Amino acid sequence: MPSLQFPDVLFWLVLAGMVGYFLFNTVRRGSFRTAMFNAHITGTLGEVEASGPKLVSQRLKVHVLERDGRPLVGVEVTSKSVGSWEMLPVVLSPSQARELSALLKLASEGK
């Protein structure tokens, strides 16, 4: 039986630490989604279905978040296809959300 070398032990310790932190955060925040945002979700404002390839479904959900008493905006990007699912959380400050809103407005007007 081969003995474990320092790099192997270090790899497994770092991996166990990351998994442990994520599980702790999931329990502390109450759900997988709130752990992904690392903030409490106080409300969901709505969602938009994105157009894309026929076999891929993409949705953007907008959440009102709160972390340490500060309001934040969360955008949840979910992609589903045959045999796969991916959720990408994006956390924005209120000023960043206003800036994104202005850029989306400009793009929708073709400017």
DSSP string, 16-37: HHHHHHHHHHHHHHSSHHHHHH
Say if residue 16 is in the same domain as residue 53. Answer: no
- Tell me: do 73 and 56 sit in the same domain: yes
- In this structure, the answer to whether residues 23 and 62 fall within a common structural domain is no
- Answer whether 0.85 is exceeded by the pTM: no
Give the model's pLDDT for residue 36: 82
Between these two residues, 1 and 82, which has the higher pLDDT value?
Answer: 82
Same domain, 43 and 13: no
Count Cβ atoms below 10 Å from residue 100 Cβ, excluding itself: 14
Whether 20 and 50 share a structural domain: no
Structure tokens at 9: 């032990």
* Res 93: pLDDT: 97
* One domain for residues 43 and 84: yes
Residue-range definition of the domain harbouring residue 14: 1-30
The total number of structural domains in the chain stands at 2
Contact predicate 34/41, CB 8 Å: yes
The answer on 95 and 47 residing in a single domain is: yes
